[in-house]
Structure 1
Amino acid sequence: MDDTFAPSRVAVTDAAAALLGRLTAQHGPLMFHQSGGCCDGSSPMCYPVGMFVIGPGDVRLGELHVDGLDPIEVFMSQSQFEYWKYTHLTIDVVPGRGAGFSVEGPTGMRFLIRSRMLDAVELEAFGLGPGAG
């Protein structure tokens, strides 16, 4: 048994995972980007892989693991990451209109972020704990 702790900055709820399964069947492999811009900037945007170009100013937060799907990578703009680096993000879904060009738009559902502060073990694992340089 491997007791190695592998922290993650991102997670997905069961409801969001179910929608991601349906969207992947329709659009192929997916990814998320949290831009931090105005308007829809607080909503995670879900795109087919290759439809949104990740740039040098983007940070890879991690990947979502949904049964039966390839890992779904999650990115955030560097400027927004500076504000959110002490936060764990969970992608959830609620009824509503999807954001901008995000693929869930026509489904009557929209993705959203639920957040919590990283705990002491996570902070240490990410090099953000007391005494981190």
Structure 2
Amino acid sequence: MNSTREPQRVIATETALALIERLTRAHGPLLFHQSGGCCDGSAPMCYPECEFLVGDNDVKLGEIGGAPFYIGRGQFDYWKHTQLIIDVVPGQGGMFSLDNGTGERFLARSRLFSDEELSALASQDPSRY
């Protein structure tokens, strides 16, 4: 990774970007929240942007396909050393997520940041997270 470029905390595969584009055409602007709940496990949940209230304890990781991506602070503190990679696999989406009923579902994969990336992230404005 280029050392002058800030590492991205969340990215999406081409397959995920294609599903995001289809869902955006059907539902308008979207928002993602990395679920930590019991019902849908740890699936990335996709909502119409205007129908999800972001809380004070939600951390914005970045954007995928033009959609903001949030995670709860407690979960962020646990996963802050990883990059989330949002992918799509065949299956049933989360109960309240817009991918439900498409025959595909969003899936979060992750990888550990390198030491160089962690150093770059540590130099970012701490109030951002």
Same fold judged by TM-score > 0.5? yes
**Amino acid of the residue matched to residue 28 of structure 1?**
G
RMSD: 1.4
Q: TM-score, normalised by structure 1?
A: 0.86
SS of corresponding position for 1:16: helix
Report Cα offsets for 1:53-101 as digits up to 9, x if no partner.
000010111111x3xxxx2110000111111010100110001000021
**Contact preservation (8 Å) 1:31, 1:49:** yes
Q: Give the % identical residues.
A: 54
* Count of matched residue positions in the alignment of Structure 1 and Structure 2: 121
| Separation in 2, partners of 1:111, 1:32 | 10
Q: Which stretches in structure 2 are left out of the alignment for 5+ residues? A: 124-129
SS of corresponding position for 1:37: coil
1:23 Cα deviation from its structure 2 partner: 0.6
Structure 1 consecutive aligned stretches of length 4 or more whose deviation exceeds 4 Å: none
- Identify the match of residue 82 of structure 2 among 66, 79, 87: 87
- Identify the match of residue 73 of structure 2 among 48, 71, 78: 78
Instruction: Please state if 1:35 is matched with 2:35.
Output: yes
Q: Which stretches in structure 1 are left out of the alignment for 5+ residues? A: 129-133
Partner residue in 1 for 2:109: 114
Partner residue in 1 for 2:92: 97
**Amino acid of the residue matched to residue 77 of structure 1?**
G
Partner residue in 2 for 1:22: 22
1:115 Cα deviation from its structure 2 partner: 0.3
